[in-house]
């Protein structure tokens, strides 16, 4: 989007006042089109609405309008980022507080998850949230809880730098599977291998990079000879790795 908006918090959804405040913040973005108090109150009660930011001139010299909708252009795209952003915050917190001992990590994670369970209950019962919004937010909250639980099971020190592959998730996982199966790396169990992948590797997830998180389940599927369809991944990897200019120095 062509403007700055704050990241979403799960607490933006736990009360009607908080959710209306989120809508209000979005409506106040166009500095040249500030609403009256009455209009702002009306907007906060609308399920969806649009704003118009300053026009811009494209590369061909044409003046283009910038119109953005609350749901399609702001809320839904940012909801999909919530679990990942909050999980990274959890990792930074334990790194800053040096919470590496197993018992201390378990206690801290338990406290964080208990807070999330309270949010889950409040959001689930919220009458002011439309079904699709509620479903999306709760899915992110469930994913965050799972990510934290997995971190406690397979902890690694938080690494700010990640291996960011410009491939989709399926291709990245199949690539690591091939390295292990063809003995190009020392054999690691699914548990140990997934710990490394989930903590240090990210894949191309549209306009951002995302952690994989569930690599253990997928690696196990390969071992059980019941893998997902890999034909397209094979084609894509071969097209990349078999090009002669890939080996240019």
pLDDT classification of 1: cutoffs 50, 70, 90: very low
Residue 58 has pLDDT above 80, yes or no: no
What does R_g of the chain's alpha carbons equal in angstroms? Answer: 22
Look at residue 2 in the predicted model and tell me its pLDDT. Answer: 45
Rounded distance between C-alpha atoms, residue 48 and residue 101, angstroms: 47
pLDDT of 60-100, one tens digit each? 777 777 788 889 989 999 999 999 999 989 988 887 887 86
Rounded distance between C-alpha atoms, residue 22 and residue 15, angstroms: 11
Look at residue 226 in the predicted model and tell me its pLDDT. Answer: 55
- Mean pLDDT, rounded, for 149-166: 78
Give whole-number Cα distances, 182 to 86, 136, 177, 225, in Å. Answer: 36, 40, 8, 15
Look at residue 91 in the predicted model and tell me its pLDDT. Answer: 84
Average pLDDT, the chain: 84
Phi and psi torsions of 128, nearest 5°: -85, -10
pLDDT of 201-236, one tens digit each? 999 988 888 888 778 888 888 766 655 567 788 889
Look at residue 167 in the predicted model and tell me its pLDDT. Answer: 94
The full set of domain ranges for the chain reads 10-78, 81-153, 163-247
Helix (H, G, I), strand (E, B) or coil at 50: strand
The reply to whether the predicted model has a pTM over 0.85 is no
- Mean pLDDT, rounded, for 165-190: 91
Torsion sign (Cα): 173, 195, 205, 69: positive
């Amino acid at each position: 989007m062509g403007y700055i908006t704050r990241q979403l918090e799960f607490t933006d959804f736990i009360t009607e006042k908080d959710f209306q405040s989120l809508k209000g913040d979005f409506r106040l973005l166009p500095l040249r089109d500030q609403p009256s108090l009455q209009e702002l109150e009306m907007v906060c009660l609308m399920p969806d609405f649009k704003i118009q930011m300053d026009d811009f001139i494209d590369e061909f010299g044409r003046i283009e309008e910038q119109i953005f909708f609350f749901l399609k252009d702001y809320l839904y795209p940012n909801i999909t980022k919530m679990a990942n952003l909050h999980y990274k915050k959890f990792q930074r917190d334990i790194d800053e507080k040096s919470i590496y001992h197993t018992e201390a990590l378990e206690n801290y994670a338990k406290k964080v998850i208990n807070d999330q369970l309270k949010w889950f209950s409040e959001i689930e019962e919220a009458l002011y949230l439309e079904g699709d919004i509620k479903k999306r937010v709760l899915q992110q909250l469930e994913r965050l809880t799972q990510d934290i639980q997995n971190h406690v099971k397979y902890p690694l020190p938080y690494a700010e730098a990640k291996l960011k592959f410009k491939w989709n998730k399926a291709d990245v996982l199949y690539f690591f599977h091939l390295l292990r199966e063809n003995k190009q790396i020392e054999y690691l169990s699914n548990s140990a291998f997934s710990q490394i992948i989930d903590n240090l590797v990210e894949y191309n997830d549209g306009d951002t990079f995302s952690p994989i998180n569930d690599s253990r389940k997928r690696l196990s599927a390969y071992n059980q000879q019941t893998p997902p369809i890999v034909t397209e991944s094979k084609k894509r990897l071969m097209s990349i790795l078999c090009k002669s200019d890939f080996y240019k120095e």
